[in-house]
Homo-oligomer: A and B are copies of this chain.
């Protein structure tokens, strides 16, 4: 689940990027997302980001007022990238809704495999340190999770055609929420085990139940999107003392 898209700009006053070359900001954001996805916010020091990029502290603070401001940009950047990824998987109206959701599972599994299951979900990581994060991060994380839920709910609702009932809306919203709850648990376990088995087990159980509740056929669990080519070898495990 690495991230290569350009960072989003905030609203309101012009972003500090204007005072630094876009390349610097982009490099900081990329390295920051990578570190946050591996280590979380508290354990990531600004110095880690500087070491990973070779960028000076002065240039960092020309782009971002504080570590907290940097963190918010990283979260928004990751959310934007991940939303696009979900949307891409769920967009194909020619495929049944659950099949599209399974495409997302396969796509995200590929993303984890590229990093030898050593990186998880940045949002999940932050959730685990929620009580030592700035309060504004919490609001942001909840909004992002609701956005993921809404996307899957809308996809599932297509099962019911153009005018789903209130009960059908509620059912789809609950199934969507159950999906994301379990998915974060599966991603966590896949990281601990450094392998895909938990993702596959989760998908097998979830899709059977979701299909049953929606009254549709369960999707064939076989992959129908082409597998990604093997990525670069996993990075050498860093010395934990350096974390």
User: Is A185's CB within 8 Å of the partner chain B?
Assistant: yes
Selecting from A6-14, A90-98, A99-107, A124-132, the interface stretch reads: A124-132
Q: Which residues of B contact A118 (CB under 8 A)?
A: 130-131
Q: How far is the CA of A236 from the CA of B142 in the complex (A)?
A: 21
Q: Judging by beta carbons under 8 Å apart, are B128 and A40 in contact?
A: yes
State the number of copies, please.
2
Q: How far is the CA of A188 from the CA of B141 in the complex (A)?
A: 12
17 more A-B contacts (CB under 8 A) besides A40-B43, A125-B129? A40-B42, A40-B128, A119-B131, A124-B128, A125-B128, A127-B189, A128-B128, A132-B240, A133-B240, A134-B240, A145-B189, A145-B192, A180-B185, A180-B189, A182-B186, A184-B189, A209-B209
Given that A128-B120, A129-B39, A237-B131 are contacting pairs, would A142 and B181 also be in contact in the complex, using a CB cutoff of 8 Å? no
Secondary structure of the A side of the interface?
helix
Residues in chain A within 8 A of chain B (CB atoms): 38-40, 42-43, 68, 118-120, 124-125, 127-135, 138, 141-142, 145, 174, 177-178, 180-186, 188-189, 191-193, 198, 201-202, 205, 208-209, 237-238, 240, 243
Which of A127, A181, A183 has the largest count of B CB atoms less than 10 A from its CB?
A181
Q: Judging by beta carbons under 8 Å apart, are A181 and B202 in contact?
A: yes
Q: How far is the CA of A184 from the CA of B128 in the complex (A)?
A: 11
Task: Name the distance in Å between A200's Cβ and chain B's nearest Cβ.
Answer: 11
Q: How far is the CA of A202 from the CA of B209 in the complex (A)?
A: 13
Q: Which residues of B contact A193 (CB under 8 A)?
A: 142
Task: Name the distance in Å between A67's Cβ and chain B's nearest Cβ.
Answer: 9
Q: Judging by beta carbons under 8 Å apart, are A188 and B131 in contact?
A: no
Task: Name the distance in Å between A213's Cβ and chain B's nearest Cβ.
Answer: 9
Q: Judging by beta carbons under 8 Å apart, are B188 and A43 in contact?
A: no
Q: Which residues of B contact A192 (CB under 8 A)?
A: 127, 130, 138, 141-142, 145
